[in-house]
Amino acid sequence: MDKIEIKFNLLLLQNMEFSQHTKTILGLKLPTDPRWVNLAQKSLEDILTDHAYCEQKAATSCISLIQRYSDKEKLVQELSPIVTEEWGHFRAVLAELQKRELKLGRQRRDEYVNELMKFETRGGSEEERLLDKLLMCALIEARSCERFKRLSEGLEDKYLKDFYRRFMESEAGHYTLFIELAETYIEKEKVRHRWQQWLTKEAEIMQQLRLRGDRMH
């Protein structure tokens, strides 16, 4: 993704309205319940802890993809800097916890990601498995970006609002990168068809999960 496209996506992110009838640039079919921000700011230590581990898992997911598909040159080149960026985000959230004299708690079970993983292709071809791994990463990044936008607009703490706006801007292009990588190695029509299936499934999962303020997803 070039700089012009990233700026365009950011402009859309800044202006998009999250209603049940609005399709965002992120493609998500179901927006986050606005009440989530109110719950999150009441559980600041928990939400920052969960955010920190989300960034850590994002970095390790990219490392796993690089290790598994080391023969795919573009994938390796594109994901290598993302590893550094995501780990930097982990450190930034950890520093925010320390600054506020809050503790990094234990990593918790991620019900959202676990439900997404159930939708991954089991067996099948290597191409199908690669496609699902890339699209699941894209989906997690898209939902994270949407949640960062929610926090950047709805929190009462001005510093944290700016903090999460920076995260939103930083993460805005990540989800499209994973889709672009999928289209590099797999027929575009197949990628787009499967992406719509993932979006539909993700909306179903979001409807089923209990709304809680101690989770980033």
Please identify, in words, the CATH class of the domain defined by 35-208: mainly alpha
Q: What is the pTM of this model?
A: 0.87
| Residue 191 near residue 183 (C-beta atoms within 8 A) | yes
Q: What is the pLDDT of residues 86-96, one digit of tens each?
A: 999 999 999 99
Q: What is the pLDDT of residues 42-89, one digit of tens each?
A: 999 999 999 999 999 999 999 999 999 999 999 999 999 999 999 999
| Residue 209 near residue 115 (C-beta atoms within 8 A) | yes
Domain boundaries, the chain: 35-208
Token reading at 69: 């598909």
Mean confidence (pLDDT) of the chain: 89
Residue-level pLDDT, tens digit, the chain, 217 residues: 444 444 444 444 544 443 333 334 578 999 999 999 999 999 999 999 999 999 999 999 999 999 999 999 999 999 999 999 999 999 999 999 999 999 999 998 899 999 999 999 888 899 999 999 999 999 999 999 999 999 999 999 999 999 999 999 888 889 889 999 999 999 999 999 999 999 999 999 999 999 999 999 9
- Kindly report the three-state secondary structure assignment for every residue of 83-152: HHHHHHHHHHHHHHHHHCCCCCCCCCCCHHHHHHHCCCCCCCCHHHHHHHHHHHHHHHHHHHHHHHHHHH
Tokens 């079970």 correspond to: 109
